[in-house]
Structure 1
């Protein structure tokens, strides 16, 4: 019996080593992986296409990793050398975070990779076996990045400089008809391929494929200024109906679901010729004569203009009368403008200058949470603030549109939907410009890729 036990002892110790030492390694691997996942997710949220964003992401990842332990009691310690950033989740796209020192190098880096090595782990029983390993090691590795970006799959063209305070040709507080702001002509517009920005590679060119993205106001990649997106042209009733989910409207053709595409918390429409209380007539006197500014041919290669000149709302020399600008200030005001300036800024020229607007509300109509300027969605569909604000890519439209035609990204602007798009008498998208986003990286969903 003693001989049998002696001969079996090495086997028993080996099996014990496999069970306990491998179990120890597995537990450590799980601890490191949890730390890497948390670090990558938290760090990726800081990436914004700038070198400062890379620094924030690294600091956040290091801080988050340090809040975890491995091997039961050892704190996780990582440095910048354990972190990489890239434009895709694969290793081929990654660059060491320490090498990304300028905004140019940081542009397009929307994925963060965190690698956490364990170092040497002392074995407990395997070391007792002749030639058995004295130490083992493992690691945690995670890559996180932007999954769905808060950009509506609509493109709008950069406009000529109007000679006023503008951002890529647009002026805050002024409304625009999206289908007119392009070189193709009235009645059509640009849509983004919501799944791909690779030139010539369009996976969602038909209306049915784009509807889920139009409903939610998200696309599956991050547009980068100076790079391209793929555009398609046209206007379809289902796409317009999908935009109207923001107004608590869900016709079958829209394919929208209130759970994933909730209405806004304020679904009040601001229509230029409406009469009910809370309509633009309540804060615009004289009443607006149209929904938005009117574009006409200026003789430029392409350049929409207002009455043969761009709008100059503040310092007009030969201006149209103010009400021809359409519905103004329903959500946004021009840079630096205050409520007190409204009667002066919105008025008829002499001799009718006494007909000044005096009832512009504080806060702005859309920002109201009760009263005539406010309308709540149905109780069955809880609203989400800001759903009527569309983040839209502004592109260079110097070439005409078509199917899967690349267009250069100039910026991303926020545009407020003033009214439903799928109206029987006017199937069009009217939006009020609220300014450019600080970077072309609007809020997005972050997910783990590996």
Structure 2
């Protein structure tokens, strides 16, 4: 009886009874920790792969090919799946083959709610192999199964547990600190909505675009019209004008959509023209605040005794003064807005790449050069064309850059060289040699230029398809692309002979146009020079 009532050692008995439970719980905790670590590694691998692929989804026809190539350069590791030192770390590498650790699917769309799964039915309806349609990249990562110590003890038939991680990413970009300008695609009426392909084929090279504001506020915008975008903070006419003069724009614009500003696209002429060293009211004394471009040659006769008194010739194509001329053939775009003209091929309306060199790029480069550089009247023959591989002659922008770069590189002074009539390309009205407070004219290629210097005769504009998305006033519009455009000449109206624009609204209503030339375009067909303006990144959405 005493033995039955003896309680000595009961703790040992209880410990022995519960020891398997304690050991099992410890093993379970270890397995859970290993599983969490392995899942974290897999999730990081899926995220990295999705981000690497999504950044290439720019709407190009080869976007998926480039995305897969980018993903193949990403290496990842997963830890704690195995149960010994030899297989505790697994290296994951993406290959576009069957039975790879990664399943990659490109999608046109994803469910609007995060809790809605991307299941097989959704994949069947939204998967794409067309790079122009791919908006999202879906990645599912699964390597070796987790070797479970706990499961193997309890039931040897269940020794491994699958671990999987999923990620979805998309490409996103924004354009920051640029003038709030949009342009209705001038070629939309001809069926050219794929501007990237048109640009890469040279169809936009060397073509002057004479863009016009809407003539009637109640009419919808059409091909060749330009207008303004909404800005953060105040957006009065004076503010918009300042942005075109060079004031920082506090707004970043999305790559996919933009919001237009209602009202007439007017009141910017004097701000725009500062970039050409023309300081009209209200900027007559703004040389301390806004500098011009480095090369402002424009076919103007210099004033006598006062460099700020310039006079535009009624016909700039004279023997003594000459700015960049129009194309040999000019035409109105199909369904284009009133007053809009574009440099056109002889067979205007086809817009297909002809056999041999095109005709849309032809402008009188030889006369321009002989008038402005009489010391070497045939020097234009050494100017390189950005589309020389297609047999196209140098664009106005090519010549403009050649004048600058030759002057900087070899001291040939092409910018400062006098034309036959005495005009130079160097800005005089804002010359710091005349007033130390004036903002110097820098070119980005000049080693002495401040960090972040931009070419003042190149601005960025959003291109939208106004026929496919008719609007009037304020609207949210899909962006076709962003383009850098070269400002060919100042905004003028024939009635004032270039002596100043007291009524800027009248300047644009009476035939004044923004005359520009394409330099580059965002997307797969561009030259990549817009990278400094575009903030491109890929983001995880799931």
How far, CA to CA, are the matches of 1:96 and 1:246 in structure 2? 53
Structure 1 partner of 2:184: 156
How far, CA to CA, are the matches of 1:18 and 1:246 in structure 2? 71
Structure 2 partner of 1:448: 540
How far, CA to CA, are the matches of 2:275 and 2:368 in structure 1? 31
State the Cα deviation string for residues 375-422 of structure 1 (Å, max 9, x = none): 24796653368993525314244887413457787766542245899x
State the Cα deviation string for residues 117-155 of structure 1 (Å, max 9, x = none): 244211134543579974333223222222224597613
Q: 1:220 aligns with which of 251, 254, 268?
A: 254
**Aligned residue runs from structure 1 range 79-94, under 5 A:** 82-88=103-109, 90=111
Tell whether 2:294 aligns with 1:268: yes
State the Cα deviation string for residues 175-223 of structure 1 (Å, max 9, x = none): 44544488859998334679xxxxxxxxx99949x99xx9489632437
C-alpha contact (below 8 Å) 2:489/2:515 kept by paired residues: yes
State the Cα deviation string for residues 349-376 of structure 1 (Å, max 9, x = none): xxxxx99965658464346453647724
Tell whether 2:260 aligns with 1:190: no
The 3 A distance-change label for structure 1 pair 243 and 273 is: closer
Q: CA deviation at 1:233?
A: 4.1
C-alpha contact (below 8 Å) 1:418/1:430 kept by paired residues: yes
The worse-fitting range, judged by mean Cα deviation, of 135-144 and 398-407 is 398-407
Structure 2 partner of 1:124: 149
Query: Which stretches in structure 2 are left out of the alignment for 5+ residues?
Result: 1-10, 81-87, 97-101, 112-116, 277-289, 349-357, 384-397, 416-424, 426-440, 492-499, 506-512
**Aligned residue runs from structure 1 range 291-440, under 5 A:** 302-304=336-338, 311=343, 342-343=365-366, 360=380, 362=383, 364-366=399-401, 368-369=404-405, 370=408, 372=415, 375-376=442-443, 381-383=451-453, 388-390=458-460, 392-397=462-467, 401-405=471-475, 413-417=483-487, 430-434=515-519
Q: 1:7 aligns with which of 10, 17, 31?
A: 17
**Secondary structure class of the residue paired with 2:253:** coil
How far, CA to CA, are the matches of 2:273 and 2:251 in structure 1? 11
The 3 A distance-change label for structure 1 pair 417 and 40 is: farther
How far, CA to CA, are the matches of 1:243 and 1:131 in structure 2? 78
RMSD: 6.0
Q: 1:107 aligns with which of 127, 132, 138?
A: 132
C-alpha contact (below 8 Å) 2:75/2:93 kept by paired residues: yes
Tell whether 2:29 aligns with 1:19: yes
C-alpha contact (below 8 Å) 1:344/1:356 kept by paired residues: no
Normalising by structure 1, what TM-score? Answer: 0.59
Task: Work out which of the two has the higher radius of gyration on C-alpha atoms and give 1 or 2.
Answer: 2
